Structure 1
Amino acid sequence: AHLHSGELVAIKVQRPGMAPLLTLDALLFNMIGGQLKRFAKARKDLLVAVNEIVRHMFDEIDYVLEGKNAERFAILYSQGSGGEGRTSIKVPKVYWTYTRKSILALEWIDGIKLTDAERISKANLNRKKMIDEGLYCSLRQLLEDGFFHADPHPGNLVATEDGSLAYFDFGMMGDIPRHYRVGLIQMLVHYVNRDPLGLANDFHSLGFVPEGTDLHAVATALSVAFGDGRRQSNDFQV
């Protein structure tokens, strides 16, 4: 659409009746989760996971919240980026005058899908710089600031003609507490240093392994997964 000022905007309009439909879905999720916990001997935290999914479902249909998420993301990762040798991160501006809980008005940003190799080549974009910027932004989200885009698929992340990366759709976001960010950093350090016991302790502190687990047994399994250290990458399951 165009505003009266002539600015081109993207208008996101919610389908009517979404809240009652999601409420029904939430009830069904809880019923199924409860039955699985009771009869299938599922993990005890299954209902916690179900409740987390339901919470995000309702967050996604609140477009005022999505607009606030977009502005917070822009402040953290867009402002001040784009220095020498680095592409920038773009986030569409929110037009609050035209935004409501079920209507979202955003700045229009033209972009190229990251899966469209032909158009990226024709635009002479520096792929390595874009990959570096995307990786840098992702690491900042997960390890530095903790506020992360939880749905960065190719439809929500595009390349602009000037080589920037533009993020869209801020309905599904997450916050990583500082304790977990520090734990993730420690886990990466222990993985790079091939420290199996340190890594096992990290798994425990992050809640990846339950209380009472023999961490020395976990460390032994990790040592086997590391192999002789000559492989460039490792896949392992504890």
Structure 2
Amino acid sequence: MRGPHNIWRLIRTGATLERTGAMSVVLEAFEAPKALRIVARGLVFPFRWIGIKGDVSQPPVVRALTALGPAYIKFGQVLSTRPDVVGNELATQLRVLQDRLPPFSVAEAKAAVAAERGTDADEIFSEFSEPVAAASIAQVHKARLVDSGEVVAVKVLRPGIERAFRKDVDAFYFAADFIEFVAPFSRRLRPRAVIEHFDGVVTGELDLRLESSSASEFSANTAADAGFQVPAVNWEHSGRRVMTMDWAEGVSLGDNAALDAAGHDRHALGSRVLELFLSHALRDGFFHADMHQGNLKVAANGDIIAYDFGIMGHIDEYTRRVYAEILYGFIQRDYQRVAEVHFEAGYVPADQDVDEFARALRAVGEPIFGMDASKLSMGRLLNYLFEVTERFGMETRTELILLQRTMVVVEGVARSLDNSLNIWDVAKPVVGGYIKESIGPKAAARDLLKTAKVLARFGPRLPGLVEAALIKQVTPQDTAKKRAWPLVTLAGLGGVMIGAAGACAIFWLI
């Protein structure tokens, strides 16, 4: 039953892409063979009349996705984080994709609150404004709590949005499977994996409890960050379809005239937003992955306020250390060390030549460092780096692609505040400080301490585990191993325990 519906949705999608002029742009971005481009456009052209015309003032792809509705807008936003899939030029276009849609009524929003909380909205809020922002998945209202008089922001999912997204996502899966079947060249881009990534992002955004959790974790991580605020979540009045937070009052970080009128130092703000992003990514491994001006405000006291936590980035501790060493190596222009880190981490296959790789990295770094301060770009460096590593057989790492994309956006925000900002001067102390904390002797001691804690939890089970290992490994047919294995096992275990004890001692010393 879903097949015909999906086919019709895809015909309408193709017709809209053709009518808006986006079809040729998309085929070019995906490097489709010329013959396939001719066939694809020939098949769609007869249905062009059923396509949606859209806003002719917008770029073709943005125009098409906006016309097709919420799921397509969100898909475009997610694809903007994947230049490895759509190419840099199209990813840049998609970053400015407008997420403003006609709002739904206050009555519908209040009904959603009542259904979610089991209480009439007027009993919770003494004031409830018209929508102050309307996006593809939800809209936001300014409200006042009856019990405390506190002003809050109430985010409410669009009515029926889950069902609408599910239909479109099913069609996306259908299209991905079809594309992989008829165009084998596309498999290197892994269309189905891209849709699975999109599905995961949207599933998270359609449950506002998850966004509330992200906001709460982000707030806890950054509580001690000077000059930075995250509005607190009001859990009592939040749920799956409704999210309530403290109201963030301030000037948009994208309004330079208003910032100047309020007496804010734009150079200091630009430096701080970059420092904060790097600290969150490296120190915490959990960063706001949608840090454009629309999601940032400046409070009256000069603090930067972040909101909208639907897209967050995660990087594990090991990857953070590798990334920091790579970044710091570039800052120091130590290309040999940058190359060695790639090989040590297994990012580049061992059969490649490390010296040749270092020379390729030098060709990336030197032209960038030869630029004046206003043109230095960490995002551009990472982009070139990915191009080089791809030539040397490095597989795409989605978490680093998201980091690079966010880095580009944050740099853009910083430069919009002060175009003369030297990105590297700002980044160097943050990255250098992280390396001292994460790779030096203290970090090694902390790693050993973590190992000791894990062993301590398994302490009561260790004798049984060792005995089971001995029984499994020793066989009557191998008397030599029978004699040697207990000694090897106990020696190894003893070494681990000594190391753990040493870690505890070092921990107390530091």
TM-score norm. by structure 2 comes to 0.42
Task: State the Cα RMSD in Å.
Answer: 2.6
* SS of structure 1 residue aligned to 2:333: coil
Higher relative contact order (CA 8 A, sep 6+): 1
Of the candidates 164, 170, 185, which is equivalent to residue 41 of structure 1?
185
Secondary structure at the counterpart of residue 47 of structure 1: helix
Measure the CA separation in 2 of the matches of 1:213 and 1:46.
29
1:191 pairs with 2:330:
yes
1:62 alignment partner in structure 2:
207
Measure, in 2, the Cα distance between the counterparts of 1:96 and 1:138: 26
Q: For 1:8 and 1:168, locate their aligned partners in 2 and report how far apart those are by CA, in whole Å.
A: 15
Gapped regions of structure 1 (runs ≥ 5) = 83-87
Matching of residues 1-238 of structure 1 within 5 Å: 1-4=143-146, 5-38=148-181, 39-42=183-186, 43=188, 45-77=190-222, 79-82=223-226, 88-203=227-342, 215-227=354-366, 231-232=370-371, 233=376, 236=384, 237-238=387-388
Larger Rg: 2
**Kept in 2: contact 1:29–1:50 (CA 8 A):** yes
CA distance in 2, matches of 1:70, 1:59: 13
1:218 offset after TM fit, Å?
Answer: 3.4
1:62-100 superposed Cα distances (whole Å, 9 cap, x missing partner): 1111111111111111x2232xxxxx2111121122111
CA distance in 2, matches of 1:28, 1:209: 36
- 1:142, CA displacement in angstroms? 1.1
Aligned residue-pair number: 232
In 1, Cα distance between the equivalents of 2:216 and 2:231?
9
Give the whole-Å Cα distance in 2 for the aligned partners of 1:37 and 1:210: 27
Provide the C-alpha distance between the structure 1 equivalents of 2:363 and 2:237, rounded to a whole number of angstroms: 58
Checking the alignment, whether the CA contact within 8 Å between 1:183 and 1:205 is kept in structure 2 is no
Within 2, Cα distance between the matches of 1:191 and 1:183? 13
Q: Secondary structure in 1 aligned to 2:305? A: strand
Counterparts of 1:188 and 1:209, CA distance in 2: 16
Distance 2:204 2:244 in 1: 17
The Cα shift of 1:130 comes to 2.0
Q: For residue 113 of structure 1, what is the amino acid of its counterpart?
A: S
Please state which structure has a larger fraction of its residues in helix.
2
- Report the CA distance shift for 1:91/1:224 in structure 2 as closer, same or farther (over 3 A): closer
Q: Aligned partners of 2:243 and 2:349: how far apart in 1?
A: 42
SS of corresponding position for 2:293: coil
Instruction: Find the aligned partners of 1:96 and 1:229 in 2 and give their Cα distance.
Output: 47
When normalised by structure 1's length, the TM-score is 0.85
1:42-71 deviation per Cα after TM superposition (whole angstroms, max 9, x unaligned): 316543333122101110121111111111
Unaligned runs of 5+ in 2: 1-142, 389-510
Secondary structure in 1 aligned to 2:144? Answer: coil
